[in-house]
A = this chain, B = another copy of it.
Amino acid sequence: MTRGRTTVDPDDGLTTKERRNRPLLLVYTGDGKGKTSAAVGTALRSWAQGWSVGVYQFVKSASWTTGEYQALTRLGELDGNVTFERMGTGCTWMRSAHGGEVSAEDAAKAAWAHVRQGIAEERHRFWLLDEFTYPMAWGWVDVDEVAATLRDRPGIQHVVITGRRCPQPILDLADLVTEMTKVKHPFDKGQKGQAGIEW
């Protein structure tokens, strides 16, 4: 990615400085590998700016320690600006909030309520809502409510959403959408995921 060259003159009445500080909504979707990786790579840029970075994983199990979790956690220890919450059914936060086992649907609803509250409080300047498309696509979280919450979010809060099958209202609202298309994948040849690459 080269530093922003634009071919269109903006017609939005904003100054360049205002335009450079607009809150962005980014979506990484599609069937190809690289959605979460790309979002995490983007998170590093926000971390390097000294911003508060919040990573919220909606589906992945808390028992699965990923390299991005380890790396972002270490970076957060260096400057205290990283929150990384894994909010699948297995996670401690979810269990204690519900006093025990919780269904995947209830976990997703609770996770979204938690994030929505944080957005209202402007808890982070950069939000990564990992695999958040799924609870929306499955109807567990109301898409229109998510869209309204994101559209009306206060202050400057960048939000990145990853996952397949991103609902149209979110795509419509997004400033940037990249579709990751699978051209070739080792799984197709029976190759399993590998540590250090897939997690």
User: Which residues of A pack against B, CB within 8 Å?
Assistant: 1, 3-12, 16, 19-22, 24, 26, 28, 30, 32-42, 44-49, 51, 64, 66-68, 70-72, 74-75, 78, 125-126, 158, 171, 174-199
Nearest residue, chain B, Cβ from A34: B38
Complex CA gap A190/B4 in Å reads 9
Flag if A48 contacts B71 (CB, 8 Å).
Answer: yes
Given A171-B183, A176-B33, the answer on whether A193 and B49 have CB atoms closer than 8 Å is no
Complex CA gap A193/B6 in Å reads 9
Minimum Cβ distance to chain B for residue A12 (Å): 8
**9 tightest A-B CB contacts, nearest first:** A4-B193, A37-B41, A45-B67, A10-B190, A48-B67, A34-B38, A4-B192, A177-B183, A32-B178
Nearest residue, chain B, Cβ from A190: B10
Which residues of the other chain, B, contact A71 by a CB distance below 8 angstroms?
Answer: 44, 47-48, 71, 75
Which residues of the other chain, B, contact A125 by a CB distance below 8 angstroms?
Answer: 196
Flag if A197 contacts B64 (CB, 8 Å).
Answer: no
Complex CA gap A7/B36 in Å reads 22
Flag if B48 contacts A189 (CB, 8 Å).
Answer: no
Flag if B180 contacts A45 (CB, 8 Å).
Answer: no
Which residues of the other chain, B, contact A75 by a CB distance below 8 angstroms?
Answer: 71, 74-75
Minimum Cβ distance to chain B for residue A63 (Å): 11
Given A46-B197, A47-B67, the answer on whether A182 and B178 have CB atoms closer than 8 Å is yes
